[in-house]
Amino acid sequence: MKYLLLLLTIFSISCTESTKPKNINQNLEFNDWLDSVWLAKVNRYPALQTEYGFRTNDDKWDNISDSMHLAELDILTGNIKELTNRFNVGNLTDQSLLSYKIYLYNVETELANSEFIYHNYPVSQMDGWHTKIPSTLINQHSIRNIKDAENYLSRVNNVPNVISQLINNLKVRESKNLVAPSFILDYVIQSSENLIVKSLIEIDSHPIYLDFKEKTKNIEVDLDNEIREAITKNLSPAYFELVSYLKVLKSKSNSNIGVWSLNNGNEYYSYSLKLNNTIEITSEEIYKYGLSEVDRIHNEMNLIKNSLGFDGDLQSFFKFMREDSQFYFKNTNLGKQNYLDSATAIINTMKGELPKLFNVLPKTELIVKAVEPFREQSAGKAFYEPPSVDGKRPGIYYANLYDMSDMPIYQMEALAYHEGIPGHHMQIAISQELEGLPKFRTIGNLYVGYVEGWGLYSELLPKEIGYYSNPYSDFGRLAMELWRACRLVVDVGIHVKQWDRQKAIDYYNNNTPATNSESLGMVDRHIVMPGQATGYKIGMRHIINLRDKAKNELKDDFDIRKFHDLVLKNGPVPLFILSETIDNWINNNKSNNDEQGEMNETDALILTDPTLGK
């Protein structure tokens, strides 16, 4: 009830009548307050500090208990009270007014989630502390000196505390009959068993041991005994306990895969759609749009198939693309290295084209890596890991090369554009490098519709400047867009229309060139992340519609580089705010012809009253 009352308070202050700005100094005070609130939260989560490149609590792990989550909601209550007592929205200007609006939207969204805090699965093949622990240590915890090494050891020794909290979180949901399907738990068991030492000989190949030895090879102090003991006496037994519990939990798993079967399941799914798309949109609208896009893309694929002289229908062409060896690197170390080298070359070539499309470029470097062996069997096909805030750790485009038959060469170009350049690296690195904005807007404030919509838009953008000259690569681009269109259909199918797992898998197999294992993996992702997969295509549609609107209304004054600046230079924003931003730019340029379309200080800002997005 208290969180409902707070939501009413937020709505009330967000609808406050805005007056002409009077006190410019309040902007500085407000920005400082936002930074203090953001930093206080970061300081409560040591692993998050490490992710951002801070080194304050590198010897500790987060408190991941449900009670900590509830405490965060109470902290938000205090923040809103302080906000209303200290600041008058009418005294905020420009970017501070935009920050105010985004902050209120974030608080509204987080508080609305309080009704559904037990609707999630604490562990899955996509997420969870069973993989976050090794991922943090291996990918984010650098070792430069003896203190860093000691902190690393401390974290390994404290793994039992994190796993204990994780098991408690699972038990709470078990008591509420929220247990992941058994095949989801099998993924978690498999990846967790990879971290259990079954014999002393195995420790020499343990991923944590190998990582620690590599990182400490230039440190004079020998800590070999310490890391061996930390793994065998603490980390490995903790994972053994987790696996033992999960094997028992499987007997209580839920046979229903959609959230429709949960208490308030339909409301939870509507919340998830709004959370991931940041606009009001119904499940039926998503479903029908997905079906129409599948038909459109099939038609474009048929044109490519026919131009290549292929004798057969589209399903036959899909089979040809799945099975012909010319479209795959060999499943060997050399073949995997060839893939990484080729993806790097694609990204390096695209770097030379960026000035045609962008005024602002990221300073931080991007590298391409294979997903590590300990998690490659359960990880996604590809993903991006942001750089550290200080730019010393580069952004990473991860390609999952566990099975090269899942990584066709004809999709390599689009995948590199999406995860790397001009996709997520451009977007997230630029965001982190923005100056003068509160930290919550530049670091970690990610909205799926905005982030993944940009990623999918970035697959299309190179096509518009002459790339994908190889028809098979262009087919690969369409195949990846088709994949996202099918997601709209299947996500709603599972969570609203009560599809079973096999029907969902069949839809992908019958409508895309994906392998059965890819289809199965995507369906299982839908199951544990309801609504998330809809943000890609809906976000892309939103960005393209805004670009088309600006082109139509500005005509010769339209500049693609300025449009992209507006999309990226405010940091991640909800899509309804991006709409207002572009509308503002259009209106300013149409009414100020004497400026000849040049962007002024307020072009990228929202100057309307700071009401929440509808």
Q: What is the pLDDT of residues 117-156, one digit of tens each?
A: 999 999 999 999 999 999 999 989 999 999 999 999 999 9
Q: How do residues 397-414 score in pLDDT, each as one tens digit? A: 999 999 998 899 999 999
Q: Which residue has the higher pLDDT, 497 or 599?
A: 497
Q: Are 330 and 409 in contact (CB under 8 A)?
A: no
Rounded to whole angstroms, the Cα distance separating 437 from 159 reads 36
For residue 598, pLDDT beyond 70: no
Q: What is the percent of the chain where pLDDT is above 70?
A: 92
> Which tokens is 319 given?
């089979």
Position 445 scores a pLDDT of 73
Position 116 scores a pLDDT of 94
DSSP per-residue codes, 212-280? HHHHTTTSSS--HHHHHHHIIIIIHHHHHHHHHHHHHHGGG--S--SGGGSTTHHHHHHHHHHHHHSS-
Which H or E element spans position 361? none
Neighbours of 419 (CB within 10 A): 27
Instruction: Give the domain ranges of the chain.
Output: 2-116, 129-257, 270-536
Rounded to whole angstroms, the Cα distance separating 239 from 166 reads 11
> Which tokens is 125 given?
């093949």
Interacting residues of 372 by C-beta distance below 8 A, sequence separation 6+: 138, 139, 207
If we measure between CA atoms, which residue out of 457, 515, 511, 458 comes closest to residue 489? 511
> Which tokens is 90 given?
């009418």
- Tell me the residue type at 449: G
Position 361 scores a pLDDT of 93
Q: Which of 219-223, 295-299, 314-318, 509-513 has the lowest mean pLDDT?
A: 219-223
Position 480 scores a pLDDT of 96
Q: How far is CA 183 from CA 98, 122, 389, 491, in A?
A: 44, 15, 37, 18
> Which tokens is 408 given?
């066709």
> Which tokens is 447 given?
């909205």
Query: Residue 383 pairs with which residues in a beta bridge?
Result: 398
For residue 11, pLDDT beyond 60: no
Q: How far is CA 554 from CA 78, 392, 590, in A?
A: 45, 40, 7
> Which tokens is 575 given?
């899509």
Q: How far is CA 307 from CA 317, 462, 562, in A?
A: 12, 21, 36
Q: How do residues 542-591 score in pLDDT, each as one tens digit? A: 999 999 999 999 999 999 999 999 999 999 999 999 999 999 999 988 76
> DSSP class of residue 390?
T
Position 364 scores a pLDDT of 93
Position 17 scores a pLDDT of 41
pTM: 0.88
Q: How do residues 267-305 score in pLDDT, each as one tens digit? A: 999 999 999 999 999 999 999 999 999 999 999 999 999
Q: How do residues 357-393 score in pLDDT, each as one tens digit? A: 999 999 999 999 999 887 787 677 899 998 887 888 8
Position 520 scores a pLDDT of 94
- How many helices and strands in the chain, by DSSP H and E? 27, 3
Tell me what the pLDDT averaged over the chain comes to: 91
Q: Are 483 and 511 in contact (CB under 8 A)?
A: no
Strands 395-399, 366-370: pairing kind: parallel
Phi and psi, residue 395, nearest 5°: -70, 150
Position 13 scores a pLDDT of 54
For residue 306, pLDDT beyond 60: yes
DSSP per-residue codes, 549-599? HHHHHHGGG--HHHHHHHHHTT-S--HHHHHHHHHHHHHHHHH-GGGTT--
* pLDDT band at residue 518 using 50, 70 and 90 as cut-offs: confident
Q: How do residues 335-344 score in pLDDT, each as one tens digit? A: 999 999 999 9
For residue 441, pLDDT beyond 50: yes
User: What is the rounded (10 degree) CA torsion for 415, 417, 419, 420?
Assistant: 140
Rounded to whole angstroms, the Cα distance separating 547 from 553 reads 10
- The mean pLDDT value for 431-435 works out to 90
Q: Are 231 and 199 in contact (CB under 8 A)?
A: no
- The mean pLDDT value for 241-268 works out to 94
For residue 608, pLDDT beyond 50: no
If we measure between CA atoms, which residue out of 265, 267, 276, 71 comes closest to residue 178? 265
- The mean pLDDT value for 176-181 works out to 94
User: In a 3-state reduction of DSSP, which class is residue 383?
Assistant: strand
Rounded to whole angstroms, the Cα distance separating 206 from 215 reads 14
For residue 157, pLDDT beyond 90: yes
Q: Are 504 and 490 in contact (CB under 8 A)?
A: yes
Q: How do residues 56-76 score in pLDDT, each as one tens digit? A: 999 999 999 999 999 999 999
* pLDDT band at residue 605 using 50, 70 and 90 as cut-offs: very low
Going 378 to 379 to 380 to 381, the CA torsion angle's sign is: negative
If we measure between CA atoms, which residue out of 582, 533, 573 comes closest to residue 278? 573
- The residue assigned the tokens 């839809």 is 507
Q: Are 457 and 426 in contact (CB under 8 A)?
A: no
Position 411 scores a pLDDT of 95
